[in-house]
Amino acid sequence: MTKFLLGAATSAHQVEGNNDRSDTWAAEHLPHTTFAEPSGQALDHYHLYKEDLKLLKQAGLNAYRFTIEWARLEPAQGQIDQGELAHYREKLTYCHELGLTPIVTLHHFSSPKWVIEQGGWENPAVADWFAAYASLIVTELGDQLSYICTINEANMGLQLADMIAERLKGTASSVQVGINTVSRFSEQMLLLRKDYQAAFGAETPAFFLSPRTEKGDTIIMQAHIKARRAIKSLRPDMQVGLTLSLHDFQASLGGETLAEQAWDKEFSHYLPVLEEDDFLGVQNYTRKVVNSQGTMSPSGDLPLTQMGYEVYPQALEHVLRRVASQLSIPLLVTENGIATADDEQRISFIDQALTGLARCREDGLPILGYLYWSLLDNFEWQKGYSMTFGLIAVDRQTQERQVKLSLSYLGQQLERFKNKH
C-alpha cells in the first residue's frame, strides 16, 4: 500500500535566493516594476536546505515538494550548468537520507530569461524547449525521483485574464497568487512597457504569469504533454502530473450558469489532457461565490487572509470531491494553506482542511497526500515578503529559522492517515 504523503511545499524562486538568470529576477529590477520588493537572497534555502529539511523531518513529516529551477540549469539556450545539476542531485539525495519523498516541480512560474526573449509562453516552440529540459532532468536525476509535477498551476494565466476582465467590469475577483495589478491605461504601465521592451524585446512579454490567451493555454498543455512523453520514454514508471489552481465555486442568486462556466474554464476543459496523467496536483486556498453578475466580494463579517480572500478551509474537501467526480486518477494536494500572522488560525485551518480530506479518503477518493503551502515564510511574488504562509518563520537579516507550532501540529496528523486506504 502506498504511504500517505504528508509534508510541505516550496518553489525555487520564492526561497532559494539570487535566481538572477530568470525572467522574474529581471522583472523585479525594472525601474517601474510592479514588484513590492526584489527577492534578493530570499531565505537562502539554496544553501540552507539541509537545516530546513531536518526541521521538516523532525516534525514527523515524510514528503517535500520543491522546484528544480530551469533558469539555473539552462541559463542560455542549450547551455547546461553541470554545477547546478550536481546541487539538485545532492538535495534529492539528502531527501532520501532523511526519509523524505521528494515531489519535484519542473516549472513554478519563473522561466529562463531567454525563453521570454524568444516569445515566452505564447510561442509554440516553448513546448519543445520545456520537453528537452524535462528529458535532461530525468536523464540526469531520474534515479532519485518518483513524482514529477511538470507545470505548476497550468491554468493560472487564464485566471489572471479573467481577473483583469472582471475588474474592468467592476466585479470582485482574486487569484491564488501574489499579483499586483496596474491599470493598462496608467502612466506606470506605459513606462513599464518601455522597461519590458528594453529587458525582453517586447512591450508585453509572455511571462508564465501573464494574462493568457486561449492559444497560450493550448501551448501550455502541449508543453505538458510533450514533457510527459519525454519523461515516460525514459522512465515509464515515473508518476507524472501537473498542478491546477482550483477554487470552490459556489452559486448564489442566479449564478449557477456563470459558476459552471468558471469551473469549466478552471478545470473541466483540461480533462482530455489530465486523463492521461498518473495523478493531478490539486491546489486550493478558498472559495468563490458567484451570482448573476459574477464573483461576489466576501461580506464584511467574514475573516480574510493576508492575501485578501476568504478564510475557508472547507473549500478543499469540496474541490477534491468535485474533481474526483470527473477524473478517475489519483489526487495529490500539492498546495493548501493560509497567509496569516496568527499561527493558531493556521493550525485551525490545517485541522479543518485535513478533516475534510480524511472524509474524502474514507469515502474512497484516491488521495495520495497533502502538502501544506508553505514550509517557510517566503517571497510571494509581486507582494514581496509581506505574506506569511509558512510553518517556519525566517529572520531575513540573519536567516535564522523559527519553527511555528503549526509545523509540529501538521507532523502529528500523519497518524490520522497511516494504514488507511
How far is it, in rounded angstroms, from Cα 421 to Cα 419? 7
At residue 346, φ and ψ (nearest 5 deg) are -65, -45
How far is it, in rounded angstroms, from Cα 149 to Cα 334? 9
At residue 258, φ and ψ (nearest 5 deg) are -65, -40
How far is it, in rounded angstroms, from Cα 91 to Cα 102? 9
List Cβ neighbours of 72 (8 Å cut-off, separation of 6 or more): 12, 19, 21, 81, 84, 87
The residue from 69, 122, 153, 266 that is catalytic is 153
What are the CA-CA distances from residue 381 to residues 27, 162, 263, 387, 392 (Å)?
A: 11, 19, 25, 10, 18
Q: Read off the DSSP letter of residue 59.
A: T
Give a three-class secondary structure readout of 332-360. Answer: EEEECCCCCCCHHHHHHHHHHHHHHHHHH
With b for 16 or more beta-carbon neighbours within 10 A and e for fewer, the 251-265 pattern comes to: beeebeebbeebbeb
Residue whose C-alpha cell reads 467526480 in the numeric block: 325
153 is catalytic: yes
Give a three-class secondary structure readout of 282-300. Answer: EECCCEEEEECCEECCCCC
Contact 306, 259 (CB under 8 A): no
Q: What is the dihedral of CA 122, 125, 128, 131, to 10 degrees?
A: -20
Q: Read off the DSSP letter of residue 123.
A: S
Query: Among all residues, which ones are annotated catalytic?
Result: 153
